[in-house]
Amino acid sequence: MTRAVSRPMAALTLLTVIELLVFLDTSVVNVALPSIGRGLGLSVAGLAWVAGAYQLTFGGFQLVGGRAADLLGRRRMFVTGLAVFTAASLLAGAARWAWLLLAARALQGVGAAVVVPAEISLLAVTFTEPKAYARAFGIWSAMGAAGAAIGTSLGGILTQALGWQSIFLVNLPIGAAALLLSGRLLPADEPGRRWRGLDLPGVLTGTSALLLIVYAITTAADRGLDLVSLATGVTGLFLGAVFLRVEARTATPVLALGLLRVRNVTGSALANFVIGVAHVPAFFLLALYLQQVLGYSPTASGFAVLPVAAGGLVLARTVLPRALAHHGPRTVLAAGLTLLAVALAGFARLPLHGSYLWDVLPFGLVLAAALPASFAGSTIPAVKAVPAADTGIASGIVQTAQRVGSALGATGATAVVSAWTAHHAGPHLTVYATGLRVAFAAAAGVALLGVALTFALIRTADPARPAESPTEPSPAHH
């Protein structure tokens, strides 16, 4: 059963294609960075922010984006976020100055941060029949994983054929078509939605806290934990504490703290954080192994992970919906994290002179099964545990947790490899390959911790039981 949608599969296609597009932009720039550097005169540090600016704002604005979807309308905010993302893509593709490209990438991240919570909320209220719900979230989860996997190979093809500008301009026809179709395919917002008072202190402190925390984690990956990174992180944590105090005292909060007392919301957020920490090193470290150890070109290493995307899409359309319907998201999440740990443990055994076919591909296919199961299983419990009016902010909470975890995972993996190579003697390539294996093993341990957290924190919800509202506003304290 669907809600006010005459063509549900067309709506699902629209939402999941945009999910792929948004996550494709997390990795599509990687191969193009040398060309961008030559074209715009960017230093190595500046090039790092071509990718980092997007990640920073993508992680920093999702709480506000999620709450806006609840208060102003899911479809309205989906369209708004997509319009911002598409316009920013045009700015990035047309940029002739480095500052404009970096600003456009940051604006792309803001658009994506508004799109994703609205997208999840639209899925949750559109597909209400259990089998349709499971199928929708299964396909959605696979498209996000596919976007991250496809980005590198697509970026290489476009950069070589059409120039680096094309990696941004390719978003324009897709974004424009989606904007035109949204009004026809997506359910209309309920009448009377409006922002019930702007919690400006909450918006400013919450967003600033997330931006500073993600910035601190990202810069620590590039230059180590220096004074600037440490001060930024501490300031972010302080503003986070201020944000929680503000939210406890306001009658119209961005984040109603009652949501954090809903076990499946906090459990889903922690699971998403663990998934971010564990799965980002899978792609990051695998790219380093393929390029630095086996000698692959960046484009070839991008093609090497395409089976992860293809396998995930196949499983998401076949096995995953049935597993969600028959076993529930908690079991699927535990299975996905277990498979993620198996894949990472397999990569932790990659030899110095390995074979792609025998050493990389088998565990890559395990990873293909792990990611959609983990993404869907960690998101559904949160959005099912809250009323429809709160699905946007619930989505924002779990997606923010995953973005912060992703930044921390990349930083941790870099730190492990750097520390190993700095403190162990021997042939450089041998020591480097061992450092990669240690980092893979550490990520596998994090994934196993996620399995334990899943069973400890996430309950098996009765889908027939309506969620209780944890967000009724209470009088502000004085």
| Secondary structure of residue 369 in the 3-state scheme | helix
Q: What is the pLDDT of residue 464?
A: 36
Using alpha carbons only, what angle is made at residue 63 by residues 59 and 66, rounded to the nearest 5 degrees? 115
pLDDT for the residue numbered 146: 79
Distance in angstroms (rounded) separating the CA atoms of residues 235 and 233 = 5
- In DSSP terms, 2 is beta-bridged to 127
Number of Cα atoms under 13 Å in the Cβ half of residue 396? 30
What is the DSSP annotation of 400-421?
HHHHHHHHHHHHHHHHHHHHHH
For residues 381 and 461, is the Cβ–Cβ distance under 8 A?
yes
| 129, two tokens | 């029949």
| Residue 91 CB coordination number (10 Å) | 16
Instruction: Give the residues of the chain that fall short of pLDDT 50.
Output: 1-3, 462-469, 471-478
Element (H, E) at 146: helix 130-162
* DSSP state letter for 70: H
The pair of three-digit structure tokens given for residue 392, joined into one six-digit string = 């946007």
Give CA–CA dist 104/106, Å, rounded: 5
Q: What are phi and psi of 473, to 5 degrees?
A: -65, 140
What gap in Å lies between CA 31 and CA 303, rounded to an integer?
A: 12
**Cβ neighbours of 44 (radius 10 Å):** 9
Q: What tokens does 306 get?
A: 């395409």
**At 291, which amino acid appears?**
Q
- DSSP state at residue 260: G
Structure tokens at 55: 């990640």
DSSP state for residue 2 in the 8-state scheme = B
pLDDT, residue 2, reads 42
- What letter does residue 469 receive in the DSSP assignment? P
- How far apart, in whole angstroms, are the C-alpha atoms of residue 198 and residue 23? 30
Q: pLDDT per residue over 240-259, tens digit each?
A: 899 889 888 887 777 777 88
From residue 172, how far is each of 32, 166, 215 by CA, in Å? 18, 10, 28
First to last CA, the chain: 46
Per-residue pLDDT, 343: 95
Check residue 473 and give its pLDDT. Answer: 43
Q: What is the pTM of this model?
A: 0.84
State residue 82's pLDDT score: 96
